Amino acid sequence: MQSKFFDLPDFASLENKKKIWVLPVPFEGTVSYGTGTKKGPEAIIEASTQIESFDPELAISLEEYCYFKLLPEINRNVHGVEFFLKDIETFLRNNFVPQNDFICTLGGEHSITFPLVKFYKQAYKDLVVLQIDAHADLRNEYEGSKYSHACVMNRCLELGCEIIQIGIRSVCKEEWNLIKNSPRITTFFPWENLSPSQVAEKCKAIISKRPLYLTFDADGLDPSIMPGVGTPEPGGISYEWFKTFISELWPLNLVGMDFCELAPQPFNVLSQSVAAKCIFKILTSFFYQQKRS
């Protein structure tokens, strides 16, 4: 596996650069359809080395603002998703401080978001979770487990988080009722035809000054640019839509993030390249706000 993220030095030559932990979690335990997300983290890291660290739209380079520490992957051989998530929880608690450590986690299936949100929620009581996804992931239980990828946002809701969902176009009736009845869930559906700027404005109004955790499920994007997912849904977010949305979302206090559910296809590096580029855009627009302020 590559030892660098975005092919950048894993140390800071100057002070005041942000340290970003990159945590690969190639876990595939409760995946319900297509498989291969266990190969997601490695593919994203590899694709990231092919991406220029300079963002010509914002005229900034990643290495001016941050450096990446690539962590060994977490992939323990345990029985049952619940035990694995507990393992991640313990690992985070023993090695990191939520107020100081920005972790960019690479999945693996979406269930791994739960221990990460729990980790940050302990420090930030008013944490908001922004979810980009095709599926609401709000089921209370799926195939006998409350810790399935299909339930991860319901678990985050139970922690007391406010949730904002974007890209959602696949929802069961139970989830639909929860979305309609929970004051702590705001879902932007594609058929509302809001522009990315409008959605960004509404998100900012909800989040206000509260800390934010961003969870990005690859299938939130349109399968034409993100074919490497287990459960593709047509009608997803375009790269242009995402790029405008993310560039207008700031200023925000982003405390951690993940990118999940990428399942690389054989002989096609499109999906991991798009994934790495999306992570890149989140980070450059995040650092660009610092430059302006």
Residues that bind Mn ion (CB under 5 A): 110, 133, 137, 217
C-alpha 199/C-alpha 192 separation (Å) is 10
The whole-angstrom separation of Cα 274 and Cα 268 is 12
Taking the least distance from each CB to Mn ion, the nearer of 6 and 228 is 228
CB of 110 to Mn ion, least distance (A): 4
Minimum distance between the CB of residue 150 and Mn ion, rounded to whole angstroms? 8
User: What is the smallest separation between the CB atom of 215 and Mn ion, expressed in angstroms?
Assistant: 8
Length of the chain counted residue by residue = 293
Residue 223 C-beta: closest distance to Mn ion, Å = 14
The vertex-258 CA angle with 257 and 261, nearest 5°, equals 160
Q: Compute the least distance from the CB of residue 284 to Mn ion, in Å.
A: 24
* C-alpha separations of 211 from 117, 174, 239, 252 in Å: 11, 29, 25, 7
Cβ distance to Mn ion smaller for residue 108 or 284? 108
Give the nearer residue to Mn ion in terms of CB position, either 215 or 273. Answer: 215
Question: Token digits for 51?
Answer: 């991406």
Q: Give the nearer residue to Mn ion in terms of CB position, either 162 or 217.
A: 217
Contacts of 271 (CB under 8 A, 6+ apart): 43, 218, 226, 227, 228, 229, 262, 263, 264, 265
Q: What does the block give as tokens for 132?
A: 């980009």
CB atoms within 10 A of CB 269: 15
Question: Hey, CA dihedral for 232, 237, 239, 243, is it positive or negative?
Answer: negative
Angstrom distance (rounded) from CA 8 to CA 10: 6
In angstroms, what is the minimal distance from the CB of 147 to Mn ion? 13
Task: Give 121 or 149: the residue with its C-beta nearer to Mn ion.
Answer: 149
Is beta strand 60-61 parallel, antiparallel or unpaired with respect to 54-55? Answer: antiparallel
Give the C-alpha separation, 34 to 44, whole Å.
Answer: 18
CB atoms within 10 A of CB 109: 28
Q: Are 112 and 75 in contact (CB under 8 A)?
A: no
* Closer Cβ to Mn ion, 28 or 133, answer by number: 133
Residue ranges with strand state E in 101-173: 102-107, 128-132, 162-166
Which one, 148 or 272, has the nearer CB to Mn ion?
148
Name the minimum Å distance from CB 17 to Mn ion: 32
Nearest CB to Mn ion, comparing residues 137 and 162: 137
Q: How far is the CB of 133 from Mn ion (least distance, A)?
A: 4
DSSP one-letter code for 237: B
Q: How far apart are CA 259 and CA 272, in angstroms?
A: 11
